Each structure stands twice: as structure tokens, then as C-alpha cells.
Structure 1
């Protein structure tokens, strides 16, 4: 299994060493990316389409940044890979890696093999600073829209994530950290797939839905500039540190007296809470300490999911069950009926609002939103072209 965390994690590791705001979270908990029947091409056409209805092409810039072969790179306007260099910082202390959109119509670019993000900035350019990471290598400080002191905090921006390699293209529209610009990806090749498209009025609906939930309304930044994920809201003092505590207690109490069955690709695990731990037997023996609200929202800490085929998949399914608040009343996980998700008063209303606003019901609202295939993720082992559309506001 090639997980999203593994494919994109190298960039995050470099960024973390550099003290950046980049946070690639989540993984493919099921449905592994299979080997390609033949090697994908070394480049792919990338089309950027502006359908915002509010911003002209001249007010939108694209940045393609990430890593390739262990080094941090960016894509130039002519489709070439260029290493990040400290000397790229200008007199203002930041780089200018912006790729402007065409004067009119769609923008045609070339995407080389790499893993990374396609950022879009609306109204103003983003400020990426080249810095030395912990190993002395050049790296980028990425935008952190949930940090009020970040130089890009007042700039409208968003991104999609991808890995393009010899096995194909693996991509998603991510809201794991925040949501601001509605984006849709179309990937053509062996299949013709689209994900991320919002319903008409979907952007406004997301802000409206969250404004109506007291615990989540403070996550809205500015005049609907963006909404940040509740995990980041905790760090900014905008979200309760113990929000999920009552639900976590409920789950712990329920499974202190009955079993939970968790089915993964490795087989079915049977778990029960005893001695403060949720312990499972089956294909392997795995156990989990009682998580905190932070652990649930980031699917980390007590719910950390290594790429080991046993602990990782169980942790991912538990993380999804906590966020979707299905764990307490469904003793067979994962659940796959979206009508049963987010039904409790204490639930991840951020993820709920995102899913409710998308055409296909899929979104990346938390790190393991791909459990049971509910993430805005698509892949193709024989890709021919990719289109990123900034959809109507």
C-alpha cells in the first residue's frame, strides 16, 4: 500500500525541519494505489481554469511546489523543475515563484514528475520564503492560513495536492488544514474522473453552516476569507481543547462492556477497552491509549497511523469513526453509509459542512476522510492530462 502520508510526507518532513507551516496529513487507509500497467509519461499537461466569476485571470497566480528525489523544488512557467535556492529570495526577503494565468481563457502548463501542491493565490501574490532546513538544505516556508502572524494570512489562497510518478497520478483537493477557494480536479487517462466540485452556492453554504454552530463559528477568518480546520483552531485559541471529550468518554464506556469489530485489508480486528486501553486482537495485537480532542482532529498522537498494515489501518478507521461520530453506535467499523455520519451534536461539523457542499459528497475534511472512500481523491495509473478549476464562488 502506498499511502498519501507516505507519498507526500517527504515534503512535510523537509518543511518541518525548516519551521514552515506545511502539514500534509492523512493517508489512503484502503484501496491501495496499484502498480501501473506501464510507466506514466515524464510530463503531463496541466490546465488551470478560472471560473470564479469574481477574479480576473490577471488577479490569479499559481505556484507548483514540492519535492522530487529528496530535494525541494518548484515548477517554472515553462514546465521545468528548479531546485529551491536561498538566493531566490528577493530584496523583500521572499521568492517570486508565481506563474501568472494567461491573459484570457484557460492557462496551459506542463507538470513534471514530483510530489507537491498546486497553490492558487487570488488578489495578491503569495510570499514563499526560501530558508535552510535542519540539514542545511534549501526549503520553503509554506503559507499557514491558520496562523495570524503568517505573511500570507490576509491573502486568499488554497491548494490541491498530488503525486505524479512512474506509477501514475494521485491527487486530491484538500481541506485538511483549511478551506477558502473552491477547487475541482479533473483527471483523464484510463478513466475520466472529477472530484472536489461544489454544489451551486456551496462556498457560501459552508460558511453559513459553520456560522450556525457556536463551537465552530470562530474558525471563520475575516469576512469569509477562509475557514480553518478545528485542529488548527485549537492552536490559535479559537476552538475548545476538550470539544470531543464527552464523545470519547462515551465510546470508551460503550466498548468497556462489548466488542468492536474493525475490518481492514489485513483482516478483522476485535477490540475492547480494558485497563484504560482499547486493545485489539486478530491479524496482530494492537492497542490505543484514550485519545484527546487534538488526537481525534489530527488523527495523530494516540491515533497515529504508521504505514505498517496493521496498527495504521485500525487507527485510521478509529479516527474516521471519532470524527464522523459513528463509533458509539456501530460495533462494526468502518461504516459506509454517509447518512449515518455526523449525526451527534458533538461531531466534526467542519467536515460535515464540507461534505454537504460537494456534488459527489466527498471532501478531505480530516486526515482519514478517505476511510470507506469519502475523500476528494482520484488516481489514474495511465494519466494523460489534469485540469484544476477554480469553480464559482
Structure 2
């Protein structure tokens, strides 16, 4: 049941940056496989760097757009299902003002945003709106002072939902017509773009999908670390600790500590770990990008991080067998590098596996890690286990010839490893919250590393803004 509710953790996006100064209209198509750039700054900033945010430029990608699946720009399709509302309790643990926002899709595919009065606003636009238009309808839900709880209700089912939070500021959302889908598209704040219209705001979100089958909510660091959030789901009709699920998220005020650690690692190995941190002009850390997000706009970053390690893995498994535990009916399968073609071959897999590049490893969805529609179940099992072993650098560890088999204490033991993931997990309150796409790969019986909570009978979802610990 929950497989249908799981949100997509990552989408491969090729950034094609085409700067356009508004108000000159853009007449090209807005497609899901491309991105477009709209400069909304009064003047360009020649001193833009990877770590300094300069708000004013909108880039459309699959990461920051939510597409309506209804092809009308006039009629609002109301939710006709007999759906119950979802109760949210928003706890403010921050000093200063906090605004919340809710975005998503109705069961009919209509874009929705929650208004402060508890009703849905349905953002839309005409088919002639080919440049992003700022949404001026008030959708900011102010939270109370530090220590207070603001109770809200989502009045119906939504999918691809996000509950956003912005500290001491507002977030900017835009609407644009998508010619490719013949429907409106909601343009969301982008973490990866240091010039996004909301780049100077400290923000974050909780992902959720709420359907007739139940609730799935999640905090994830696959793309970035932002405003610290924690979640607690209390099931309806349960007493005490029964029916309670918690994902604590990061510890309070941990962003600076994460950046200090990443900056130290840059000093040790010379790679761009420190540049993953985005700061404002005062040096305040706003967000920490994942390496895959940083590479999307800095293609040569981390280029040689895993070169030597991959060479060693390929050499070792020419003479030794790598065992992949599929943790399914296929059981354990044997893999080995063939000297004839220099590819990993796994028994029964529909694919072979070439040496991965840095981009392949960080994204887990390119090169040898592509899972096509025709892939068989063994290939689908091999890909996450291979990619996770590269992130954690466990292939050459004692016992690393069986994947997965090692405990978390054995992860990240090499110099060539995912220091972003290692550092994020260091500062999580309970170790839960993905830091890369296949961070849920663990030995059978291992701990749940996801930051998700699920229930077929949800009562209240509590979100802790500023952290739980």
C-alpha cells in the first residue's frame, strides 16, 4: 500500500540555463526535461559565488515545479471524494516570526495552496502566461511565538504535498503555463539555485501525501539541509506511546556545525565540501546542498573524488566475488568484474555495470545505476546496494564482499566517501533521514534510516520547527 505513497526522492534534471530579463516574455515551452532561467533582479551581481545567495533569478526544473495534471485553465475541479481533513500541529521552537505554507495536488490533479482561513486556494493562469507570475494571494500561515502550537487542518486529500516553513520572512511562489502538459505549473522555492527569489530566506519543508489509504510524511536530506524540522505522527484512537511514530530530524542549530565539519574536510582533501554551504551576505548559513545538487550547476566538482577508490574496487573484484544480498526471493547473487570487458557482471541481472563517475555515484540514477522500464528485479535490487556501498565506501572493508552486511559503524571509513552524508547523520537526533537516495539500504534487521512516518489511520501530525532536540 505504502509503495504508492512514497514520494520521488530524486529526478534527473539537465540544467539548460537561458537568462531572460523580465518583463520580456519568454515564448518557449516549459518542459519537464529542461530548465529555464528568469532574471527578476534589478541589476546583475558580478560577485556571485557558489556560497553567497543573491535572490532574484528563477530557474525552472523538475526539482522546483509542481505540475497540475488537469488541462483546463478556467474550471476549478473540486474534490468530490468523501475525504476527511488532516490535522497538523505546528510547534514553533524558534525565536522570531515563522510563516507556514502548504502546497500539493488534489485527487483530480488540481494545484492547491492552503489559505490562513483553512480553505484551499487553486492557483491557475491562462495559456498565455509563459513567464512565471508571482502569486499575490495570501497563503502565509503565521505561527505563534516561540513555544506555541498553531493547529491547522488540510481540508482534503493531497498528493506531492509539502508543508513549508520560513523564518522571519515570506516565501515566493509563482505560476506559469506548461505548454508540454497543457496545464498550469506551480514554481516552488529552489534550494539549489543561489539566486532563487527566496534564496535569502531560511526555509525548509516536510513532504507528505494524504489519500484514502492514509498518510505518508517525510523529512529528507537527499537534496539539501535547511531549516531544522522534526515530525511526530499520532495515530487516531491510540493511547500513550502506542501508535506514535517520530523522526527527530537534525539537532537544533546544527547547520553551522555541519558547515564547520565540511569546511574542515575541504582543508583535508581539497574537494568542494565547504562550498555546499549557502550563506547570506552576513555569513549566516541558510542551507547545505547535497553534492548531487551542487554538481547540477558545477559539473566538474568532486570529479576525481572516487577515481582511486573505484580503481581499487575493480581490481579487487576481478579476483574475488562480490555477493549482493537482494533481501528478496532472489536471495544472494554473485557479481564479479570480467577482465574481457572490464564490467561488473551479476548473475541473473538484465544489465552489466561499468565504472561509475562521481556524478553517477552521487545521483544513483545515471550511468550503471539507471533502472529502465525493462530492467528485471535482480537489476533493481543490485543498483541500490552497489550505489549505497560507494557512498559509504564499504566495498574494501572487512566483510564488505557481502553487500549489505556491515553495521552503520563501518560506514564512511575511507577518505573517498560521502562526507555530506556522514556529517548529516552525525547531527541527526535519532539517525533518521535519508542523506542520499538509497540511504535505506541496510542489512536485514537493521535500523530504519528513513525520516518517514506512515499510518492508515492518522490522527495528528506534529511538526517541530527549529528541531525536537
Could you tell me the TM-score, scaled by structure 2's length?
0.71
Q: Report what 1:128 is aligned to.
A: 173
CA deviation profile, 1:272-326 (whole Å, cap 9, x unmatched) = 12223222114x5442232211111111112134586432232112121111111
Deviations 1:32-78 (A, max 9, x none): xxxxxxxx9632101111102x3x2xx32222223333443333334
- From 342, 364, 369, the equivalent of 1:276 is 342
User: Quick check: 1:22–1:143 contact (8 Å CA) kept in 2?
Assistant: no
Distance 1:15 1:42 in 2: 34
Give the deviation of 1:391 after TM superposition: 2.3
Give the Cα separation in 1 of the matches to 2:176 and 2:152. Answer: 27
SS at match of 2:192: coil
Q: Does 1:210 align with 2:271?
A: no
Partner of 2:139: 98
Q: How many Å separate the matches in 2 of 1:152 and 1:217?
A: 22
Larger Rg: 2
Aligned mates of 1:363, 1:194 — CA distance in 2: 11
- Is 1:164 aligned to 2:197, yes or no? no
> Which of 228, 231, 237 is matched with 2:289 structurally?
228
Q: Let me know the Cα RMSD of the aligned residues.
A: 3.1
TM-score (norm: length of structure 1): 0.84
The residue aligned with 1:28 is none
Shift in Å, 1:210: 1.2
Q: Matches of residues 103-252 of structure 1 in structure 2 within 5 Å?
A: 103-104=144-145, 105-111=148-154, 112-115=156-159, 116-133=161-178, 134-189=180-235, 191-199=243-251, 201-214=253-266, 215=271, 216-222=273-279, 223=283, 224-237=285-298, 239-252=301-314
SS at 2:134's partner residue?
A: coil
Unaligned runs of 5+ in 2: 14-29, 36-59, 65-81, 443-447
Give, in whole Å, the separation in 2 of the partners of 1:196 and 1:295.
30
In the TM superposition, what is the alpha-carbon distance from 1:9 to its structure 2 partner?
Answer: 7.6
1:165-188 deviation digits (Å, cap 9, x = unpaired): 222222211111111211101111
Identify the residue that residue 451 of structure 2 maps to in structure 1: 376
Q: Which of 360, 363, 379 is the matching residue for 1:298?
A: 363
Structure having greater relative contact order (Cα 8 Å, sep ≥ 6): 1
Q: Is the 8 A contact 1:21 1:142 kept in 2?
A: no
Structure ranking higher in helix proportion: 1
1:47 to 89, 111, 115: 89
Structure 1 residues 197 and 149, CA gap change in structure 2 (3 angstroms) = closer
Q: What secondary structure is seen at the aligned counterpart in 2 of 1:212? A: helix
Number of the residue aligned with 2:354: 289
Unaligned runs of 5+ in 1: 25-39
- Cα distance in 2 for partners of 1:336, 1:81 equals 47
Alpha-carbon separation, structure 1, partners of 2:372 and 2:121: 32
